Structure 1
Amino acid sequence: MSSRRSLTLHEIATVLEEDDDFSNQRQDFDIFLLPPDTANDYQTDEDSGEEDNVSINNLPGSLLRAPAELAASTSMEKPETEDQTPPEFQEPLKKRVMNYNWRKRDLQLRPIVWKPLYHTPIERSPIEWFSLLFSEEVFEMLTIETNRYLARKLLSADVKIEEMKCLVGILLVSGYCQVSRRRMYWENASDSRNSLIASALSRDRFTLIYSNIHVADNLNLDTSDKFAKVRPLLKVLTMRFLEHCPHKENHSVDEAMVPYFGHHGCKQFIRGKPIRYGYKLWVGATSGGYIAWFEPYQGASTFTNAQYSQLGLGASVVLSYADQLATLGYGKNYHLFIDKFFTGLPLVHELTERGFRVTGTIRENRSGKCPLLSNKEAKTKERGFYDYRISDDIIICKWHDNSIVSVCSNAVGVDPVHKTERYSQQLKKENICFSTSSHSTIQ
């Protein structure tokens, strides 16, 4: 509830200072001051107080006597507390604090039946397969936003959807039929001219559209998103990729690099990678290499489900992809493979409760004080040595290969043990056989 009082500014100051009951019953105050009667007069009764330290005590009399209104909201409505969360807010998952009872036995595998989908292959042309992912919605968005941007620059280009499709086609051709400069495709020289490109779109028209292409409205960008200018395109493509994802049992979550050498706050440098400079993407893909989901990395503001923020960035990425797989409606007995950046026991417990299987390498400081041999002691053992422990249907196995590898899983046990071929750096020989478990075979 709210109340209003018509007073002078001087009376309002008196009420706020002396009336404790009035102040305690209200949370917010709004003071509406009307112009004084002498606002248009040449002579004023300016106060002689300090100009740099103006307070209620040294305002001119005409201002103090000016009509004003005091609007205050009463405290009859209960203030919002931390417990009164909006209904759409989801409680963040808290990192589990668990006491592990590690025992040396193998994992008792639960019977998992994966049901592949059998269907008659559909005969489609290459352009039809391409249109499944880059649908008409994508080209309409490109055309609308590009025309909007051109109009703000006072350029009347009136780009058509057909022209936008030609532009995308030219970019695809330029990816495998490369020349020193893109303008060479339209030259008359026979060794550089590409008749397919030249006949599809004129050089000047291509340059105009390509230099002004947009996928988002610059006046309505999310300032917290460093990829806001391409976010609409990323959302549509991710939705289409997931919609047409092949039905596969095994999925992998990892990072991928998109080469880029320009200037941008999200450009990464990763030493030792085939692509060292560019944008890093979190990617969820099938065992056949099909990308079903991706999210560009932008530091702490990376768009993942805020519900998983307490588990760390790596766990948030994996759980966000698991949520996407769950929307496909094929059940939840997928098998996810991850590396040591993502793997942690809280993540494995959470995926186990959701019905997902997971296997991944794990760092020694994330293994819940599992009483395995230390890396230093394991290196003194012969190659092929392995040690393992199990707790709560989660097994951790440490194996001596080229280096010491620790693997955590809720779906793969140690047995059966068999032989595998490896190169011996010490003996300088190939095809040396060592004993290995099911965990190391996955690696």
Structure 2
Amino acid sequence: MRLTFFRYFRLSLAQLLQALEEDQIEDAIDIYTLPHEDGNDTDMDEDLSDDEHCADLNSLGPKMLKTVCEVESRINAPSTAEKPTPSCSHWDSSDEEPLSKYARVHFKRVKQKKAKTNYSWSHSKPSFNMVVNCEKVPPSEAVKTCKTSLDFLKLFFTDELLHHFIEQSNIYAGQKNKLLNMFLDEVNVFLGALLFSGYGKYPNKRMLWSGSPDVRVIVQNSIRLNRFENNLRNFHINDNNNLDNTDRLFKLRPLITHLNKCYKLHGGCEENISIDESMIPYYGKHYAKQYIRGKPIRFGFKNWACCTSSGYLLSFDIYMGKDNNENRAYLVLRIGLVAQVQGTYYLLIFIWEKTTMKTELLVLGVIHDLLKHLSEAGYCATGTIQDSRTSKCPFTDVKSMDKKPRGSYDCRTDTNIKISLVRWKDNKTVTCITNYDSIEEGTCTRYSRDSKAKITITQPRPITHYNKGMGGLDKMDQADYTL
């Protein structure tokens, strides 16, 4: 008994004729030609009908030679246990495998259940083991030797960073088959022209090279317009050939990393650290542009900033949406926090990585898991918390607290994780969480509309410390003003 196998493959007619002439196909085959795509797109009367058309294998037009053919190869196999090995070069052993092997399999993603934390809330006073007396790190010795503003600028825009700009810009120009040859003095002038353009608001950068008497000539005398535009077109910070698809700030990442390193190296550190969001103004079209109601700058890029209580910036990270980079420091711990708190913890890890320093941290929008890991790392933390993240703490709800007089408060302590929650009534109800501060009553002064005078009300100690150390970012924003 002999079996017959059929093998189908598609070739152009010209390729098929060449294979037949070179004796690459030895088995019996059937050839089926398909009509050309525009074979019927003609209204000419000279075309022959199907009945009048006569095929001539010795005279085939260019359109016919480009036509796709379907070839059916018949292979006679002996009735033996061995698999047939036909001489056709287009056949292989995988042709006998079932099609179900190559069918697409849809895997259902299974969500991992987060381990529930058991909370034990009580009215008892907290007993924390955190060390509150923190060490203050002074600025570097290089800061003490700086005498001019240019000296301070060179602490952050170092020659190492400028040489990196030169290298990447020359590489990018070479990728476009252009010769740039940027050098150190030129990149200093180029960056200076960019910074100078921020002082004078001109509709076009070309107006800096205008001949009008009301335009300063400092940029004109430093660099030519054609050279400036050439540098601007080819200026690059990172190599596109090493693109990291997981980092949406890949093109700016070397600059961000370098600045954060210099901020940490030269600025020192204080006891109170505040982490909050700031806005970089931007009114164009970009997928990462944010709108935050209630901010002085409502449209722009959201920037997570970590500042000291005096307003010095220690670290920053621009928010670009959900981050899928598994190499980031805050994802290594697998805390499972929202993007807001992930950015907060990343800034903290970036500043004091591989150090034993303990500091008091004032955080905006924290949750229990974050304070738990901060306590294990030795960081004292106090921050506000949303009502939906209180883990069903059985204290007075917000609606009932709003009806109480100003200065009323309620507190609970979790004896398992060693954290305390305080809810206090001011103009609005505020909920605060801490991992080190005791719940002691203090006082503060507020203006009363009823008595039309200032009155003294009760204020818990965590609220007092939070208000004392949370103004660092506002001071940093106030330092950014127009000269």
Of 113, 119, 130 in structure 1, the residue corresponding to residue 133 of structure 2 is: 113
| Residue 367 (structure 1) aligned with residue 390 (structure 2) | yes
Q: Deviations over 1:65-92 (max 9, x none)?
A: 4589989xxxxxxxxxxxxxxxxxxxxx
1:108 alignment partner AA: S
After TM superposition, give the deviation of residue 50 of structure 1 in Å.
9.9
Partner secondary structure for residue 427 of structure 1: coil
Q: Quote the Cα distance in structure 2 between the aligned partners of 1:225 and 1:127.
A: 32
Give the Å deviation of 1:43. 6.2
Moved more, 363-372 or 388-397: 363-372
- The aligned runs of 1:181-220 (5 Å cut-off) are 181-192=204-215, 194-220=216-242
Deviation, 1:206, is: 1.6
* Alpha-carbon contact 2:275-2:307 (below 8 Å) kept: yes
Judging changes above 3 Å, is the alpha-carbon distance between structure 1 residues 216 and 399 closer, same or farther for their aligned structure 2 residues?
A: same
How far off is 1:391 after superposition? 1.3
Question: Match for residue 408 of structure 2?
Answer: 385
Shift of 1:158: 1.5
Task: Flag the 1:413–1:205 CA change in 2: closer, same or farther, 3 A.
Answer: same
Asked if structure 1 preserves the Cα contact closer than 8 Å seen for 2:132 and 2:380, the reply is no
Q: Which residue of 2 aligns with 1:40?
A: 22
Classify 1:102/1:210 alpha carbon distance in 2 versus 1 (closer, same or farther; 3 Å).
Answer: same
Are residues 374 and 432 of structure 1, via their aligned partners in 2, closer, same or farther at CA, if it must alter by over 3 Å? same
Q: Is the 8 A contact 1:95 1:346 kept in 2?
A: no
Superposed counterparts of 1:230-249, under 5 Å? 230-249=252-271
Alignment CA distance shift 1:46-1:226 (3 Å): farther
Q: Give 1:106's aligned amino acid.
A: K
Tell me which amino acid in the other structure corresponds to 2:153: F
Residues 1:115 and 1:339: Cα distance change in structure 2 (over 3 Å):
closer
**Deviations for 1:343-390, whole angstroms, at most 9, x for unmatched residues?**
111111111111111111112222122211111111121111011111
2:358–2:378: 8 Å Cα contact kept in structure 1?
A: yes
Is 1:221 equivalent to 2:243 in the alignment? yes
Change over 3 Å in CA distance of 1:106–1:197 after alignment to 2: farther
> Which residue of 2 is the match for residue 154 of structure 1?
177
CA distance in 2, matches of 1:396, 1:39: 87
Change (3 A) 1:427 1:175: farther
Q: Residue 345 in 1 paired to residue 368 in 2?
A: yes
Aligned twin of 1:291: 313
Q: CA deviation at 1:406?
A: 0.5
Matched, 1:401 2:426: yes
Q: Matched residue of 2:213: which SS?
A: coil
Q: In the TM superposition, what is the alpha-carbon distance from 1:257 to its structure 2 partner?
A: 1.6
User: What letter corresponds to residue 213 of structure 2 in structure 1?
Assistant: S
Give the aligned CA root-mean-square deviation in angstroms. Answer: 3.3
Single out whichever of 360-369 and 307-316 deviates more from structure 2: 307-316
| Superposition deviation, residue 137 in structure 1 | 2.0
Does the CA contact (< 8 Å) of 1:248 and 1:287 recur in 2? Answer: yes
Secondary structure at the aligned position of 1:176 is classed as coil
Q: 1:312 aligns with which of 330, 338, 341?
A: 338
Q: Give the structure 2 partner of residue 175 of structure 1.
A: 198
| Aligned partner letter, 1:184 | M
The CA deviation string for residues 206-231 of structure 1, in whole angstroms up to 9 with x for no partner, is 22212331112223322333222222
> Is the Cα contact below 8 Å between 1:296 and 1:302 reproduced in 2?
no
CA gap of 1:230–1:430, structure 2 versus 1, over 3 A, is: farther
CA distance change for structure 1 residues 117 and 104 in 2, over 3 Å: closer, same or farther? same
Instruction: Report the 3-state secondary structure (helix = DSSP H, G, I; strand = E; otherwise coil) of the residue aligned with 2:251.
Output: coil
Q: Distance in 1 between matches of 2:451 and 2:286?
A: 46
Give the drift of 1:395. 0.7
Asked if structure 1 preserves the Cα contact closer than 8 Å seen for 2:361 and 2:380, the reply is yes
Residue 323 and residue 46 in structure 1: after superposition, are their counterparts in 2 closer, same or farther (change >3 A)?
A: farther
Task: Report 1:68-79 matches (<5 A).
Answer: none
- Tell whether 2:329 aligns with 1:336: no
1:418 counterpart residue number: 442
Deviation at 1:200, TM superposition (A): 1.9
Which range is displaced more, 180-189 or 253-262?
180-189
Cα distance in 2 between the residues matched to 1:39 and 1:311: 68
SS at match of 1:436: strand
Secondary structure at the counterpart of residue 197 of structure 1: coil
CA contact (8 A) 1:335 1:357 kept: yes
- How far apart are the structure 2 equivalents of 1:199 and 1:374? 67
Which region of structure 1 is more displaced relative to structure 2, 133-142 or 382-391? 133-142
Shift of 1:47: 4.3
Q: Secondary structure at the match of 1:336?
A: strand
Equivalent position of 1:30 in the other structure: none
* TM-score normalised over the length of structure 1: 0.76
Alignment coverage as a number of residue pairs = 380
- Tell me the distance in 2 between the aligned counterparts of 1:302 and 1:262: 25
Partner of 2:116: 97
Give the C-alpha shift of residue 96 in structure 1. Answer: 5.2
The yes-or-no answer on 1:325 pairing with 2:363 is no
Residue 185 of structure 1 and its aligned partner are, at CA, apart by 2.6
The one-character-per-residue Cα deviations of 1:413-437 (angstroms, maximum 9, x if unpaired) are: 221x23212234x438463321111
Secondary structure at 2:197 match in 1: helix
Q: Say if 1:94 and 1:310, in contact at 8 Å, map to a contact too.
A: no
Q: 1:235 to 1:435 in 2, by over 3 A?
A: same
Task: Please state how far the C-alpha of 1:48 moved relative to its aligned partner.
Answer: 5.1
Is the Cα contact below 8 Å between 1:45 and 1:60 reproduced in 2? yes
8 Å CA contact 2:137, 2:268 repeated in 1: no
Q: Distance in 2 between matches of 1:204 and 1:224?
A: 36
Are the structure 2 counterparts of residues 228 and 187 from structure 1 closer, same or farther at C-alpha, using a change threshold of 3 Å?
same
Query: CA 1:432 to 1:59, structure 2 compared with 1: closer, same or farther past 3 Å?
Result: farther
Asked if the contact 2:134/2:360 (under 8 Å) is kept, the reply is no
Structure 2 gaps, min length 5: 6-18, 35-71, 77-84, 95-111, 468-483
**Could you say which residue in structure 1 is the equivalent of 2:450?**
427
CA radius of gyration, larger in: 2
Q: Is the 8 A contact 1:226 1:266 kept in 2?
A: no
Q: Secondary structure at the match of 2:431?
A: strand
Give distance in 2, aligned partners of 1:94 and 1:247. Answer: 39
SS in 1 for 2:122: coil
Q: 1:318 to 1:95 in 2, by over 3 A?
A: farther
Describe how 1:268-287 pairs up with structure 2 within 5 A.
268-287=290-309
State the 4+ residue runs in structure 1 displaced beyond 6 angstroms.
49-52, 67-71
Q: Whole-Å Cα distance in 2 between the matches of residues 123 and 219 of structure 1?
A: 40
